[in-house]
Structures are given as structure tokens and as C-alpha cells.
Structure 1
Amino acid sequence: MEQERRPIEVYLVVKEALKLLRASIPTNIEFKSTIDEKSGAVLADPTQIHQLIMNLCTNAYHAMRGDDAGTLGVSLRAAEINKQDAHGLLHPGNYLEFTVSDTGCGMSPEIMERIFDPYFTTKPRGEGTGMGLAMVHGIVTQYEGDIRVESALGQGTTIRVYLPQAENKAPEAERIISQQLPGGNERVLVVDDEHMVLAMHTNMLERLGYKVTAMPSSKEALAEFSARPQDFDLVLTDMAMPGMQGDILAQKIRQVRADIPILMCTGFSEKLTPERAQGFGIGKIIMKPLLFRELATSIREFLDS
């Protein structure tokens, strides 16, 4: 889809994304960042830039998951592409270079050839849709940029994204972090079986002012809600979870308390239509990965209605 573009200072989006990621990724993964705050602006949609950063950094973490330690590197700088470097999709000119590196397992040449293919994933069944890097590739090419990948088995991976600088930078480039997001002080039960996602959603909600109870399984969440159903104002749950799917959890929660608002997160919209969701008492379906603004507005919409 064509998005609304405006001048964005990318370093602000990078810093915001890294705050969310640092709160979600285990401490055995070291973060190293070199962010040039004077790197310039790009003409882009801030939501897409946020998606790009989160997908690349999440993939880097997954490449190191299971290791005793690892390093996730992020850098942002201005880069001038000359005629010698302007191969592939790049033309000579001024760009922002966003780099994500990891010290993980690396990739074979055969896998590197396919990483941007839709639905291709090396993750175990149920852990990935294979759409993250395909989405990143689509965003970058839409902005007339390019992606370059360096990797070898056992030697980690480095991905460099080049986005054209905005030729006429606005006097006040979009400061998306300073935009006011609707928050509150209500009590939210958050359910997700993936540690990183659960921590990230909890961090998002707490920064909006909500009091959060985080549960790593649907069965634990049901027991917690059943023990004190009046202590919660809203439930935010994942769809695909072992033991009990999110739609069944929603149905059982509504049997305990029929008026509780429930929001569902899913990466597989075809498995849960709006009609089926309504039958289970689910107020709204939100597609993963959750975006800060969409989450904030969706929760406020349901709590205020």
C-alpha cells in the first residue's frame, strides 16, 4: 500500500525501537549502537520505518537465541553513494545507511538467496510467518532504496539498508516520539507465550500508564482472571498459543465475566475472521507486529466506549 510520506528524522524512530527491544531481549544479548543524530531525514511513513527496524532487530536476536551470549549491533549514519558503489537498485546520491548486525549462526549462500521470499522462514513451525524480511524488502524498494546482506555460517550476519535522504528537509522534521499517544491507568491482562513479545507489549502498555499483569500461557491467564475477574479492565491476548488458543481463552474469560473487553493479536488473519472473533466475544483483531500508536488507540477506543 502507498503510505503517507513526510520528512522523518530516522534516529528518533531507531532510538524508540531500541528502547522497546532492550526491555524485551534477554540481558545476555549485548546492544551496541552508533546513532548519528545529524544523519538527516528521509521522506517516509514513520510506521513503516518502525516496522523495518523492529523486524531486522528481531531477526538478529533470533539468530543468537540459544547462545550463551551475543551482540546486536545497530548503526545509523549518512552515506554518499558514488558511481562505483551505485550497483543494484542504488543511484549515486545521498542516503541514510541503517545497519543491523549479529554474532549468531550466520547463513549459507542457499538461504541468503531466499531470505526476502514471502513465507520463507528458517524458524520452527509456529514461530514465524516468513513475512518479516519480505515486508522489509517491500518497504525499502518502495522508497527506492536497497538492502545489502553479508553473512557466512558461524560468522554472524550484517544487513545494511540504504534509504534516500530527503532533498528538502522540513524546518521541523516529524518528531513522532513527541506525538501524544492516548494512555490511561486501567488494569490490563496481557497474554502471550513468547517471552520477547510479552515483555515488549508489557513495556508498551506501562509506558502508556496502564497497570499490567503479564501471563506467559493461556491456562495461567484463565486461572488468574477467574480468581479476580473484577481486577481487570481489559484483556490483550495472542491467538496462536500452545494448550489453549486465544479464541478459546477469550470464550472462557467471557463465561467468567461477560462485559470484559478483549483484544486479539494475530499474524494469521485468515484463521480468525471478524465474524468468528465477535462470536467468541473478541472486540477487535490487531495484526502483529503491534505498532505503538495502533495499540494505544485501540485500547483507549474500547475502554472509553
Structure 2
Amino acid sequence: IFTIYLPEVTDGRMVKPVEKKKVEMVGGTERILLIEDEISIGEIGSDLLKDLGYSIEVAYNGREAIQKLTTARQPFDLIILDMNMPRMGGRVTFERIKELFPTVKVLVCSGYSTAMIEDGKFTQSIDGFIQKPFEIDEFAQKVRKVLDSVPVSSMS
């Protein structure tokens, strides 16, 4: 399945798209673990989050993420988890993280919509979801929103 976006045409003329309102990107100083199997995306995400003031570590697979979480001297405030990873997939990684650290906040990233990754109560057990591709300001806002929210684990 794929989506094709075409420009809007009225009376044979293309309608100029409405300019998106510039939104100030809000950062912070929290510790974030970014789990992303694609090295270039991990590096870009890490650089962006560092530029916003966050302290970042990157893991390139689920096993490396679990190792970083269990050996960290300070706890992570947020985990950003790519769902589509080889070997130890996103779902298995998420379940293992929640077994070990039930109160840690998890923001899930996926090229699929939440409807496509929905399995029972999975989307109810994550703290946030953002669908790839996303705008940089949208990503920054979602990270801040999840960090400022009450963890899903404490609401049950």
C-alpha cells in the first residue's frame, strides 16, 4: 500500500499550499535512549536531540538497547523505539524493556500507522507514537509532550 499526494487544482490552476506556521522547537536536558537500526537515522535523530539540549545515547538494535539500559549509571527519562528492527524486533524489545523498567516512558516510531501495529492493548501501553516520516518540529514536540506526561504504567 502506498499513498500518492498530488497538488490541489482549481479551475485548471494549482492552488498554492498554505504555509505551515513556524513552531518553536522546545528541548530539555533529560536523558534519552534512541533505539534505531538504521545508522544514518540514528545519527540524525541523535544530533537533533542533542541540539535541543537532551543527553542522548543510541542503540542500533534491541539487544544493545537492553544492555545500555541495564548498565546505565543514570536512568533514562525516555526511550524512543523504532518498531521495525531485525533480530530482536521492536515489540519484543518493548516487552523486555517494560519487564525490566516498568515506569520508563517509551515513544514508539514506525513507518506503519498505529492501526497497522495494533495488537490487543499494545498502543494503550506505550506513552506516545509518531509515524515516520515526520517533520523535525513535530518530532521535537512529541518528545517534549511524552517527557512532560504521566507515564502510562502509573495510570493503571
Under a length normalisation based on structure 1, what TM-score does the superposition of the two structures give? 0.42
Deviations 1:113-170 (A, max 9, x none): xxxxx63xxxxxxxxxxx5xx3xxx15x2377xxxxxxxxxxxxxxxxxx8779xxxx
SS at structure 1 position matched to 2:47 = helix
Q: CA shift at 1:298, angstroms?
A: 1.5
Q: 1:174 to 1:142 in 2, by over 3 A?
A: closer
Structure-2 residue corresponding to 1:272: 117
Q: Where in structure 2 are the equivalents of 1:209-220 lying within 5 Å? A: 209-220=53-64
Query: CA contact under 8 A between 2:8 and 2:15: conserved in structure 1?
Result: no
Distance, in Å, in 2 between the alignment partners of 1:252 and 1:229 is 19
Query: CA contact under 8 A between 1:193 and 1:216: conserved in structure 2?
Result: yes
Query: CA contact under 8 A between 1:202 and 1:214: conserved in structure 2?
Result: yes
Deviations 1:210-250 (A, max 9, x none): 11101111111111112227431100010010111112211
**Aligned partner (choices 267, 272, 290) of residue 134 of structure 2:** 290
* Identity of matched residues, %: 27
Structure-2 residue corresponding to 1:181: 25
Q: Where in structure 2 are the equivalents of 1:66-145 lying within 5 Å? A: 119=2, 131=3, 134=4, 138-139=5-6, 141-142=7-8
- Structure scoring higher RCO (CA < 8 A, sep ≥ 6) equals 2
Distance, in Å, in 1 between the alignment partners of 2:110 and 2:80 is 11
Give the aligned residue type for 1:224: K
Point out where structure 1 has 5 or more consecutive residues left out of the alignment: 1-117, 120-130, 145-162, 167-172
SS at structure 1 position matched to 2:98 = helix
Distance, in Å, in 2 between the alignment partners of 1:229 and 1:248 is 24
Give the aligned residue type for 1:272: I
Task: Provide the aligned length of Structure 1 versus Structure 2.
Answer: 143
Structure-2 residue corresponding to 1:191: 35
Q: Which runs of 4+ in 1 moved over 6 A?
A: 163-166
Q: CA shift at 1:260, angstroms?
A: 0.5
SS at structure 2 position matched to 1:294 = helix
Query: CA contact under 8 A between 1:229 and 1:257: conserved in structure 2?
Result: no
Structure with the higher strand share, 1 or 2: 1
Q: 1:182 to 1:165 in 2, by over 3 A?
A: same
Structure-2 residue corresponding to 1:231: 75
Cα RMSD of the aligned pairs, angstroms, is: 2.5
Q: 1:254 to 1:143 in 2, by over 3 A?
A: farther
Query: CA contact under 8 A between 1:261 and 1:302: conserved in structure 2?
Result: yes
Structure-1 residue corresponding to 2:84: 240
Distance, in Å, in 2 between the alignment partners of 1:286 and 1:229 is 28
Q: 1:235 to 1:142 in 2, by over 3 A?
A: same
Q: 1:262 to 1:165 in 2, by over 3 A?
A: closer
Query: CA contact under 8 A between 2:62 and 2:88: conserved in structure 1?
Result: yes
Under a length normalisation based on structure 2, what TM-score does the superposition of the two structures give? 0.78
SS at structure 1 position matched to 2:40 = helix
SS at structure 1 position matched to 2:94 = helix
Q: CA shift at 1:175, angstroms?
A: 7.7
